[in-house]
Chains A and B, each alone.
Chain A
Amino acid sequence: MNSNVAIELRGITKTFGNVVANKNVDLVVNRGEILSILGENGSGKTTLMNMISGIYYPDSGQIFIDGNEVVIRSPKDAFDYKIGMIHQHFKLVDIFSATENIILGLKKDGKFDIKAATQKVREISEKYGFDIDPVKKIHEMSVSEKQTVEIIKVLYRGADILILDEPTAVLTPQEAEKLFAVLRRMRDDGKAIIIITHKLHEVLSLSDKVAVLRKGEYIGTINTADATESSLTEMMVGKKIELNIERSEPVNTQDRLIIKDLKCVNREGVTVLDDINFTARSGEILGIAGIAGSGQRELLEAIAGLQKIQQGEIEYHNPKTGLVENLKDKTPIQIRELGVRLSFVPEDRLGMGLVGNMDIVDNMMLRSYTKGKSLFLEKKGPKDLANHIIDELEVVTPSANTPVRRLSGGNVQKVLVGREIAASPTVLMAAYPVRGLDINSSYTIYNLLNEQKQKGVAVIFVGEDLDVLIELCDRILVIGSGQITGFVDSRHTTKEEIGLLMTKSHGGEQND
């Protein structure tokens, strides 16, 4: 056996009920190597890593570390084997400093020496080129700084096998580059690094090897040097796929929704949106870019009548009557009663757009059940609609009477988008509509949005993948900390430009 092998998995299988998350997975990770685990959502990447880090216990299979078979029953066992995982969701105490979080939970005899710990954190930072202030409190940190703390935490504990679960999901392109530089330095220091991702360009630019999973099965490991975007996609999906979004020129655009000086304050009294001005036009897709939590959700909810508005106007120009309606301070029902056909695909699909425990038919009813004077529910219409959507959008489900929480992410989204489009909207707002979806479903959603655009709907698309935003949208609004930091024409912009606008501190200098 190659002595350079840090960790090896043989025949790992894990099932949850009747769902096979991992089936007979083999994997080899060498020291001094960055391995990407690539696969679509639901392909079992995270489950596999959770078994290495002791969160799940495999149903069958073996794990070898440095050539010895081991049993990892808990995160503590994993830590004993020097395995450290950086999760997608950070596990940090907000009111503690970076150092305090790093040494939290460490068992040590003798005196508690925060000075020595701070010194050690500094040394680790310098060694790998982290940019961190050890005494800064977590709640004062940006997302990327918090991630840095998580990484230093596992290094501090002596980890030499590092697992990162979708580390760039929350980062801007610039921050991601910085992270990659650090990871390369760790690799050169002889650590074994595993990163879970579904972004192809990251795989190509960062890793030495790529292991691909598809539907829980291990497809193979190849050298990144031999891989291309399309060969990797083919391995992930199992067939060739065209990765192009057709963008038509907007025709016959009219102002549909005009937002003027919008300001919103949340429950804690923090201003979440300030000085927002823009116009959404019919027949075009308006993209909204920004770091997660910059006010995207509040903006859409303000338009939909779910968020209290401090000041400003939301004007809706009704194409049928030619009237201008002000949507400010109206409830969703009042908005509907005004004849405003506003559809909204919220970010939280099962917590807001749909009811997870209800079946597809009952979820169709959410939008239509109030119709009619009867005290009782009318089930035929919703049932027909459910079956129509299942056929039209190829929703994979045992039947229309299956609770939607049992469907996969892509199918849940098809049900939701299908219902919102069925209301033949004039404005369609979609927040992160492809998050967690596989490539095929994502392109189904892009096509649906494009179709709506061609029908003359004003589409507002909040996205996180800048490549997609640039390809799909006509214009892109960039927001940062609740304010507009830029407005670009997506036919003449770059990812880097948008990335810069996203991180630009608000107030003062605005482009053009």
Chain B
Amino acid sequence: MTENRLKSHHEPLIHITKRDDVGLGKSMLIHFVGILIALVISAVLIWTITGSNPLQIFKSMYEGVVGTSIANSGINKKYMESVHIMAMLLCISLAVTPAFKMKFWNIGAEGQVLMGCLASAYCMIEFGGKVNDTVLLLIMVVLSVLVGALWALIPAVCKAFWSTNETLFTLMMNYVSMTLVSYFIMVKDRSGRSDLGIINERTEYGYLPEFLGRDYLSNILIVAAVVVFMFIYLKYSKQGYEISVVGESENTAKYIGINVKKVILRTVAISGAICGLVGFMIIAGDKHSIKPSIVGGQGFTAIMVSWMAKFNPLLMIPVAMLIVFLSVGSKFATSAFRIDNSIGDILTAIVIFSIIACEFFTRYKINFRGVKKGGKS
């Protein structure tokens, strides 16, 4: 009765087993090799598709980010610009992190930042020149932070009280905020343009002053303060501890008597408030203008930064640096070499993909057929 049912099988070619926790050194080595492989793949791709010398392109990327200082002045505008872009991305990443640690998937940072921008722009137009400029800046900060927090609280309230899905909700809120900004522009400027141009260009009301004569330095310092705050808040404060407990296990939180609803609302409000602060910095310290696309997708990129850094505020600094290096550098290089700028996106994707793939190799080991360990006695 046993036809060929009992045909013998081969041992599987590869099988995957879990490995011990790898040490920091080995983990860094794996990531280093990962990035190296990514660069080699990118180089081959660039060479086959565009025919340009990949090394030249990498060099050009580096120049595009770091720039060259203007002779004798010591001021390197491009460098500061890159650091500023990095700082904004970092700050949004920090903003989404407390919510993420609580497993509240806030993917509405883009909209929360934009609402902060809107609040600041509104103040600049409405109160510019009517109040003392310091007072104006204060009003702008407070209102931006409040609006950002409130915008984030809408989905949080629904989640806390009616268990709605926060991922979809926060995502949709992004589009609502963009439409609101379009509407605002239409009301303020009936000429039909898609942005308002530079607000208070002549008077500079509501402009964040330069610090030590450097562009963007005020913004960068604010972000540095947020980094320190967030690191301490998450690691050493009681509220940070509550966030971890709620995120790890809601049942445990209830068991020890944490008011889970309260923690959800408070944490998401903080998340939104920092997004609002970023909005203020974009308007008052950089763009001085508003349009629906002003955040430029950084609210989404920040989600990736937060995850790749495993929600560690300090690790987010190198991750944000890498991502900004890739995006700014590739933009510069592709225009310098007159190649399609999609190449830059492809390059970025390859590097990020390989870093994420490294996670797999830090957790699992691959065993090949024939290589057996542990003999039989």
Measured CB to CB, the residues of A under 8 A from B are 10-11, 13, 15-18, 24, 57, 59-61, 68-73, 77, 80-81, 304-306, 331-333, 336, 344, 346, 348, 350-358, 362, 365-367, 369-370, 374-377
Contacts and interface: CB of A to CB of B under 8 A. Distances in A.
Interface stretch (B1-9, B265-273, B320-328): B1-9
B316 to A, nearest CB: 20
Given A15-B17, A351-B249, A366-B245, A59 B8 contact: no
25 contacts: A10-B376, A15-B17, A16-B18, A17-B17, A17-B19, A24-B377, A60-B373, A60-B375, A60-B376, A68-B8, A80-B5, A305-B257, A306-B254, A306-B255, A333-B257, A344-B255, A352-B252, A352-B255, A353-B255, A354-B252, A355-B244, A358-B245, A374-B238, A375-B239, A377-B238
B372 interface: yes
In terms of DSSP, what is the predominant structure of the interface of chain B?
Answer: loop
B26 to A, nearest CB: 14
Contacts of A81: 6
Contacts of A358: 244-245, 248
B255 A346 contact: yes
Contacts of B239: 375
B257 A331 contact: yes
10 closest A-B pairs by beta carbon, nearest first, are A332-B257, A333-B257, A11-B376, A71-B9, A18-B20, A352-B251, A355-B248, A17-B20, A17-B18, A366-B256
B376 A61 contact: yes
Contact of B236 (A68, A367, A377): A377
A447 B97 CA distance: 45
A375 B244 contact: no
B252 A376 contact: no
Nearest to A331: B257
B53 interface: no
Q: How large is the interface on B (under 10, 10 to 19, 20 to 34, 35 or more residues)?
A: 35 or more
B11 A71 contact: yes
B256 A332 contact: yes
Nearest to A10: B376
A342 to B, nearest CB: 11
A336 B258 CA distance: 12
A351 B251 contact: yes
Interface in B245-294: 245, 248-249, 251-252, 254-257, 259
Contacts of B373: 59-60
B285 to A, nearest CB: 29
Contacts of B255: 304, 306, 332, 344, 346, 352-353
Contacts of B374: 13, 15, 59-60
A334 to B, nearest CB: 8
A18 to B, nearest CB: 4
A162 B241 CA distance: 49
A73 B245 CA distance: 40
A198 to B, nearest CB: 25
Contacts of A332: 254-257
A71 B252 contact: no
A56 B249 CA distance: 29
Contacts of A348: 251
A59 B367 contact: yes
Contact of A70 (B9, B20, B256): B9
B249 A355 contact: yes
A70 B11 CA distance: 9
Nearest to A81: B6
A268 B268 CA distance: 30
B9 A369 contact: no
B17 A376 contact: no
Given A73-B12, A332-B256, 17 more contacts: A11-B377, A17-B20, A17-B21, A18-B20, A24-B376, A59-B372, A68-B6, A71-B8, A71-B10, A80-B6, A81-B6, A304-B255, A333-B257, A357-B248, A362-B241, A376-B236, A377-B238
Given A11-B376, A354-B252, A358-B248, A375 B237 contact: yes
Nearest to B251: A352
A212 B377 CA distance: 19
Residue among B9, B11, B256 with most chain A CB within 10 A: B256
Contacts of B257: 305, 331-333, 336
A266 to B, nearest CB: 15
Nearest to B1: A158
Interface in B207-244: 236-239, 241, 244
B190 interface: no
A15 B20 CA distance: 10
A47 to B, nearest CB: 13
A126 to B, nearest CB: 23
A245 B55 CA distance: 76
Residue among A16, A304, A355 with most chain B CB within 10 A: A355
A73 B212 CA distance: 68
Residue among A68, A73, A353, A366 with most chain B CB within 10 A: A366
A352 B249 CA distance: 7
B242 to A, nearest CB: 8
B29 to A, nearest CB: 19
A365 B9 contact: no
B338 interface: no
A384 to B, nearest CB: 18
A362 B241 CA distance: 9
Residue among A16, A72, A350, A377 with most chain B CB within 10 A: A377
A344 B251 CA distance: 13
Residue among A77, A352, A357 with most chain B CB within 10 A: A352
B202 interface: no
B241 A77 contact: no
Contacts of B19: 17
Contacts of B376: 10-11, 24, 60-61
B367 A73 contact: no
Contacts of A331: 257, 259
B15 interface: yes
Contacts of A17: 17-21
A367 B253 CA distance: 11
A355 B103 CA distance: 14
B303 to A, nearest CB: 21
A377 B237 contact: yes
Interface string B170-201: 00000000000000000000000000000000
Contacts of A69: 8
Nearest to A26: B376
A41 B367 CA distance: 28
Residue among B12, B255, B259, B372 with most chain A CB within 10 A: B255
Contacts of A367: 256
A70 B8 contact: yes
A249 to B, nearest CB: 34
A279 to B, nearest CB: 25
A376 B251 CA distance: 23
Contacts of A346: 255
A59 B17 CA distance: 9
Given A24-B376, A59-B367, A70-B9, A377 B252 contact: no
